[in-house]
Amino acid sequence: MEYLSMHLPELKFGRKDVNVQAYEQALTSWTDDVPTCRESGVGSAINELYRRDGSRIQIHSFQDRSFRFRVEDYDLCVYGVFDGFGGAQVADFVTKRIPAELLWGQLVPEKSDEAVKETLRQAFISVDKEYFESIGDRLAARMVMQCDPQYSSSSQLEELEDRVRAGSAGVLAVVLGNRLFVASIGDCRALLYRSGEILPLSIDHTIYNEDELLRLSHLGVDLKLGVSYPELGERSYTRCLGNYPVKGGYKESTLLASCQDEPVIPEPEVLGGIPIQDFSFLLLYTKSLWHAVAEATGCQDPDSEIAELCRYYFREESSLSGVAQAVVDQVVRLHHDRLEASGGRADTREDITLLIREFGGCREPRGNTPGRGLSRGLMDKKEEKTLTRSSARPSRPTRSSTTTESSGVYLAGKEIPIDEHGRIQPYVDFAPFYQLWNQRKFSQGSSDK
């Protein structure tokens, strides 16, 4: 304690912890050499605050992280979507460490289902432990400051408290041969789609889950279903990565001090192996996408709406990343339009990430001829904007940006005309140019003679 007190001035909380920095230097680029899975794609949108005047501003830096790797030697694909909170440091750490726990021979086709599931569980637990070891100096400095009255209300202590509360939810999918395994923690979501059938592969680990409340009651703390408890953090996770105050520091909480063990755990729920031959595609996404669809449409089953929207864009986009980004863009647009139409107060939308993995069972035609999307967007701009399956196909969004609001192409206030195939018709007459050009060529040819 005395040593830490003497060296507290050296702990510059504006810079990275030495151990975290060492990890980042060692792991920042190693995944660059791991092949990306070409049968998958990712789309995302950064968080926004919608103001009453129609403008939008970013609330905080982007905190989602994802990866999609393939190792041919083991017939292995690993996908992850991680939703950071309180900062991106935990999600960033996890997406650099978990692939190292899975890609180098730990998972091989000969492994049994139970052995694979145990490997995934241990990967989450091990990485969570490594993260806390990497911020050991910060945790020690925080403890010293809490015991020293001169730091009781300092900005340095407040900054440390914010940093150690950072955490991440996440969902991890592994395709090993023809088997699928999914590990989830927090409230990120996963689903499989097959011929109109949706198979959910994740549950929410929050105080809204009765099984989780039962687990906590066995540890000695009784919580009421759906009641908000600030001690568990803003998102009320009962399982997550990071978030020291509800793990190693749970004895500091009056609500959790009676627990016999750490109440919030890093152990994921794991499903598998699921044969993938008959399925069309797998979706992994942050809960914010689910919330945005629910708020934009009022539907009771956002998962189905997201799957149907993906099916639509399979016909419109030529790449899987294009499909994922088109779905995210459409949801963001509809979410913002809903707010404008209601005339409500300022509202927010969190970071969104959607990862799509296509399987051999997918029979959707991929991509249309160039220009068709723009043509349909112009023809459909008067259609009601909705995602519900009872409606016609969703309106085709402008693909340039999530913040672009126009549904067509304009020049000097006039819409550029297009033909029946969606191609832009000529709008500049070059006849006088060619007439002068031919006259000049003719005159030059005569002078040469």
Task: Assess contact for 383 and 395: CB atoms under 8 A.
Answer: yes
Closest among 122, 116, 157, 121 to 139, alpha carbons compared: 157
User: What was the pLDDT predicted at 68?
Assistant: 96
Q: Rounded to whole angstroms, how far apart are CA atoms 267 and 124? A: 6
For 20, the token pair is 């975290």
Pairwise CA distance, residues 406 & 385, whole Å:
14
Q: What are 42's strand-pairing partners? A: 355
pLDDT of residue 410: 33
Cβ burial, residue 276 (10 Å; 0-12/13-18/19+): buried
- The predicted structure's pLDDT at residue 428: 53
Burial tier of 179 (Cβ tally within 10 Å: 0-12, 13-18, 19+):
middle
Residues 331 and 376: their CA atoms lie apart, in Å, by 18
Asked if the bond preceding 136 is cis, omega within 30° of 0, the reply is no
For residue 176, what are its two tokens? 């090993």
Superfamily of chain region 2-47+62-285: PPM-type phosphatase domain (3.60.40.10)
pTM of the model: 0.76
Tell me the two tokens of residue 293: 């669809």
How many angstroms separate the CA atoms of 57 and 336, rounded? 13
Q: Residue 417: left if φ>0, alpha if ψ -120 to 50, beta else—which one?
A: beta
d(CA 34, CA 27): 12
pLDDT for res 7 = 43
Per-residue pLDDT of the chain (449 residues; tens, 9 = 90+): 443 344 444 444 444 444 444 444 444 556 777 899 999 999 999 999 987 777 789 999 999 999 999 999 999 999 999 999 999 999 999 999 999 999 988 999 999 999 999 999 999 999 999 999 999 999 998 888 888 777 777 788 888 888 999 999 999 999 999 999 999 999 999 999 998 899 999 999 999 999 999 999 999 999 998 888 888 988 999 999 999 999 999 999 989 999 999 999 999 999 988 999 889 999 999 999 999 999 998 888 999 999 999 999 999 999 999 999 999 999 999 998 887 777 665 588 999 999 999 997 554 555 553 333 322 332 343 344 344 333 333 443 433 334 333 333 333 333 445 555 444 455 455 566 556 666 665 665 555 55
pLDDT at 51: 79
